[in-house]
């Protein structure tokens, strides 16, 4: 997917924001350079990474994180010890992983996703926790504010650019009268995103309907309901739906009802298009923040990084062809195909 995007996408990003001065993070740049060049004391930083479930968006976060750490001179088993654990969707396993990281007294824990970060926060109020790919740290009750988190948690937000998503949806499906929502009603951040996009759609005279799920086993029935009621379906950056995106995409094509998902990785799995966050780049920004924390920056005063301004448009040309959707000329530059 990364190769496809490099070939076909025009990424709306402010690259300079990614490489902000380490002074802002409280990072000692000279000390970091010594470690990166192997001229320091070769201190090995111990980082625990916990991910609640396996799906492409969260996987991309970890890949971007490790790529940026390596680019900055932090090499696994040399001056870095990253222990990655995936809970595979099991809350008990997630709790066990979190307990182990606390008992091992990691220098830092990177928790990918809202549930993982909430679980870690419940285990410790002293160990630095860097949450990643969390829509709203405030709604999830992880920080006091994005500007001044106020505790031991900070991180990167994948809040979707709602207005851009609605613009894209209506550009691709201009005759849409009803938009259907599918999401896990137990995911606080999904509920928040749905509330925002519902308000945006209704302000433009578009009606909405929804079918919620509590797990992947509910997805097929929810989709069967929505494809009968909606002209187009929207799903946010929802972990449950992302895990079942292959099924969602297949049912979308069979019914002739396009799906606009919240994440670019979900487009490759069968969604039509999105204006969403680049999760690999989000992982890189998370790594930048991690380095600051490893060198003594305080998470209580390190602002949450919101990635909305670094969003990108992705359109699946194969899905558009299957659905018989004509892509407007001004959006042709954002199209990718599986055989490219």
Across the strands, what pairs with 213?
184
Q: Which of 33-42, 148-157, 319-328 is the least confident region?
A: 33-42
Q: What is the mean pLDDT of the chain?
A: 88
Would you say 172 and 281 are in contact if contact means Cβ atoms under 8 Å apart? no
Residue 149 is classified by DSSP as -
Confidence at residue 18, expressed as pLDDT on a 0 to 100 scale: 36
Render pLDDT for 110-137 as a digit per residue (tens, 0 to 9).
Answer: 999 999 999 999 999 999 999 999 989 9
Q: Which of 31-40, 261-270, 293-302 is the least confident region?
A: 31-40
Confidence at residue 277, expressed as pLDDT on a 0 to 100 scale: 84
Answer whether residue 287 shows pLDDT above 70.
Answer: yes
Q: Compare 190 and 230 and report the one with higher pLDDT.
A: 230
Answer whether residue 313 shows pLDDT above 70.
Answer: yes
Gap between the Cα atoms of 280 and 64, Å rounded: 4
Residue 302 is classified by DSSP as S
Q: Which of 16-20, 259-263, 281-285 is the least confident region?
A: 16-20
Render pLDDT for 187-228 as a digit per residue (tens, 0 to 9).
Answer: 888 999 999 999 999 999 999 999 999 999 999 999 999 999
Six-digit token string for 284: 């890189």
Q: Compare 312 and 177 and report the one with higher pLDDT.
A: 177
Confidence at residue 312, expressed as pLDDT on a 0 to 100 scale: 86
Six-digit token string for 86: 């995936």
Confidence at residue 23, expressed as pLDDT on a 0 to 100 scale: 35
Domains in the chain, start-ordered, CATH in brackets? Answer: 11-158+277-306 (3.40.50.2300), 162-276+312-336 (3.40.50.2300)
The edge-to-edge listing of strands for the beta sheet with 178-184 is 207-213, 178-184, 232-235, 259-261
Q: Compare 42 and 334 and report the one with higher pLDDT.
A: 334
Six-digit token string for 146: 């994005």
Please state the rounded mean pLDDT for residues 174-190. Answer: 94
Confidence at residue 41, expressed as pLDDT on a 0 to 100 scale: 54
Gap between the Cα atoms of 61 and 284, Å rounded: 8
Q: Compare 22 and 82 and report the one with higher pLDDT.
A: 82
Across the strands, what pairs with 234?
181, 260
Rg of the chain, C-alpha, whole Å: 20
Residue 108 is classified by DSSP as E
Six-digit token string for 89: 């969707």
């Amino acid at each position: 997917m990364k190769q496809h995007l490099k070939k076909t996408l025009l990424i709306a990003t402010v690259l300079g924001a990614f490489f902000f001065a380490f002074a802002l993070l409280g990072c000692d740049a000279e000390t970091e350079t010594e470690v990166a060049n192997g001229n320091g004391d070769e201190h090995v930083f111990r980082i625990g990474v916990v991910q609640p479930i396996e799906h492409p968006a969260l996987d991309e976060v970890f890949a971007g994180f490790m790529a940026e750490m390596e680019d900055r001179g932090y090499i696994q088993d040399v001056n870095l010890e990253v222990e990655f654990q995936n809970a595979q969707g099991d809350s008990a396993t997630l709790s066990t992983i979190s307990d182990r990281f606390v008992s091992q007294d990691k220098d830092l824990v990177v928790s990918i996703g809202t549930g993982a970060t909430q679980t870690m926060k419940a285990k410790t109020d002293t160990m630095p926790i860097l949450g990643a790919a969390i829509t709203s740290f405030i709604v999830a009750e992880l920080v006091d504010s994005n500007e001044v988190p106020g505790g031991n948690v900070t991180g990167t937000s994948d809040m979707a650019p709602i207005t851009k998503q609605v613009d894209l949806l209506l550009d691709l499906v201009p005759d849409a009268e009803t938009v259907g929502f599918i999401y896990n009603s137990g995911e606080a951040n999904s509920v928040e995103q749905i509330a925002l996009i519902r308000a945006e759609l209704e302000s433009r005279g578009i009606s909405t309907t929804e079918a919620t799920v509590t797990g992947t086993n509910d997805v097929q029935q929810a989709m069967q309901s929505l494809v009968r009621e909606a002209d187009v379906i929207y799903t946010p950056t929802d972990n449950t739906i992302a895990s079942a995106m292959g099924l969602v995409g297949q049912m979308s094509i069979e019914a002739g009802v396009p799906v606009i998902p919240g994440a670019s990785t979900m487009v490759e799995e069968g969604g039509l298009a999105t204006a969403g966050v680049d999760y690999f780049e989000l992982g890189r920004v998370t790594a930048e923040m991690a380095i600051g924390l490893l060198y003594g920056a305080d998470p209580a005063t390190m602002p949450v990084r919101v990635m909305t301004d670094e969003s990108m448009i992705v359109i699946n040309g194969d899905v558009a062809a299957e659905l018989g959707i004509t892509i407007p000329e001004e959006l042709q530059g954002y199209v990718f195909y599986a055989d490219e």
